[in-house]
Structure 1
């Protein structure tokens, strides 16, 4: 049965058990069939040119990145301006996820994905694991570890593929120890980033950061047991397509709208034009 209003949505939220070993995050999809992969993996051309996209964006807008020292900070800003990256937006606020589920009305029901992410897989913006995965964005489309998996730690880190990755990491962290665990390259982690962006603050935003599965063309997989919609029976966040406009009106009353979630001037103008038009 599809959710038709906020009251029904909250009823489903109340079914989620609390845990001291994990944290809850949410993501909204206007199309229930949307796949949980980051934008850079939407087409083969995009992932094959990730390193070019990263460098071209920086050289064209270098003055905008003067205060962004790490690859992760740069990816967050790129994501903010619509460039496909290996980040996937998530939020700690389920009503924000509900807004994004309802913000586009198509032919299909929407879906709010609820994530129960173990605390050990949640990292801060300055973590070494986040640096390892973020800097994969700078490596070319030939980057892969299938051939070298299973080597000793020393042998693994002596391989050219990893040596080049370590070189990229040391550009932002000179103190980084030249040791990478192969498992970190194939992980998905949740990242809490700096709250230095109005949109991130308003949206209670965080990100899933995707490594690779053996080779760069294949994204790492989100563990199934992170996804409450799959793991917890009886919880259903499917949103009725015909009720999306009504839910948006309810969210607006609660202070969640295009104007509050997108605080930039052009979005304020867009919202007011729609509201008074």
Structure 2
């Protein structure tokens, strides 16, 4: 695993924007998808896996009932990819995993949880171009035909079911696709989803088998507050990423959370020296 532990804001930025220069187009265009976690020990298990039990057998039931009870006009087209995007966006356990094109949005999710400030955070970065090298031919041909690096839901619509998707290749593969712009939250978070062809394989397990596709950047707990304050000044916060009164309330709660109380909590949780 390519894991790096940064020690400063500047070093963190260098890591996040590494490999962004694309000489063939003379532009800075990072090929990475980013996912921020407040605790570096967290894995990349999907919400479906976190159900536990015989979760793979529940996947079809969850989605079928979601489609049955959701309003029929909430998706642009009646495709599995529109429904999966909508379900994931509203908290239904699925095999999708949330990512973002924005390293700053990922940093927000790595530093916004006050309860985890005493713990190291992490940013997982996946080179989706390299990850897509493992796609079955039909999907790689679709990307090549569109001149695209990631999929849209429209590009995947010829695949009608998740079982059909899983059967495209004998080996497990992962695809990244942009969800439809269902609301401002998806747009503001510069959202991206991954979908894996085996619901029983965690994304980090697939990455471990393909170590050249990713890096894990460890954010020490002692620089989280600096990162958090700089993100807030850059207007990367709950008020923007979760438009509406809920996001506004989350932002204000964190903004006015007593720093003294946080410091005392962290000190009390420090292990005692011998």
| TM-score, normalisation: structure 1 | 0.69
For this pair of structures, how many residues does the alignment match? 225
Q: Distance in 2 between matches of 1:246 and 1:117?
A: 29
Q: Distance in 1 between matches of 2:73 and 2:17?
A: 42
Deviation at 1:48, TM superposition (A): 2.5
Q: Which residues of structure 2 form unaligned runs of 5+?
A: 133-139, 141-148, 258-274
For residue 188 of structure 1, the aligned residue among 174, 195, 198 is 174
Q: Is the 8 A contact 2:75 2:82 kept in 1?
A: no
Task: Give the equivalent residue in structure 2 for 1:248.
Answer: 228
Task: Give the equivalent residue in structure 2 for 1:111.
Answer: 122
C-alpha distance after superposition, 1:74-129 (max 9, x if no partner): 1111111111111111111111111111122425311111111216572222124x
SS of residue in 2 equivalent to 1:89? strand
C-alpha distance after superposition, 1:203-259 (max 9, x if no partner): 1111111111xxx54467243322134xxxxxxx21112332332111010010011
Q: Which residues of structure 1 form unaligned runs of 5+?
A: 137-164, 170-179, 230-236
Q: Distance in 2 between matches of 1:22 and 1:250?
A: 22
SS of residue in 2 equivalent to 1:182? coil
C-alpha distance after superposition, 1:4-46 (max 9, x if no partner): 5533311323443645698221111111122223221222343
Q: Is the 8 A contact 1:27 1:113 kept in 2?
A: yes
Task: Give the equivalent residue in structure 2 for 1:7.
Answer: 10
Of 248-257 and 108-117, deviating more is: 108-117
Of 77-86 and 188-197, deviating more is: 188-197
For residue 77 of structure 1, the aligned residue among 80, 86, 103 is 86
Superposed, which structure 2 residues align to 1:25-104 within 5 Å?
A: 25-42=33-50, 43-63=52-72, 65=74, 67-104=76-113
Q: Distance in 2 between matches of 1:218 and 1:30?
A: 22
Give the CA RMSD over aligned residues.
3.1
Of 254-263 and 74-83, deviating more is: 74-83
Q: Distance in 2 between matches of 1:184 and 1:68?
A: 29
Q: Distance in 2 between matches of 1:189 and 1:209?
A: 5
Change (3 A) 1:126 1:67: closer
Q: Is the 8 A contact 2:76 2:82 kept in 1?
A: no
Deviation at 1:2, TM superposition (A): 4.4
| TM-score, normalisation: structure 2 | 0.70
Q: Distance in 2 between matches of 1:96 and 1:26?
A: 8
For residue 186 of structure 2, the aligned residue among 185, 200, 203 is 200
SS of residue in 2 equivalent to 1:114? strand
Deviation at 1:268, TM superposition (A): 2.3
Change (3 A) 1:103 1:276: closer
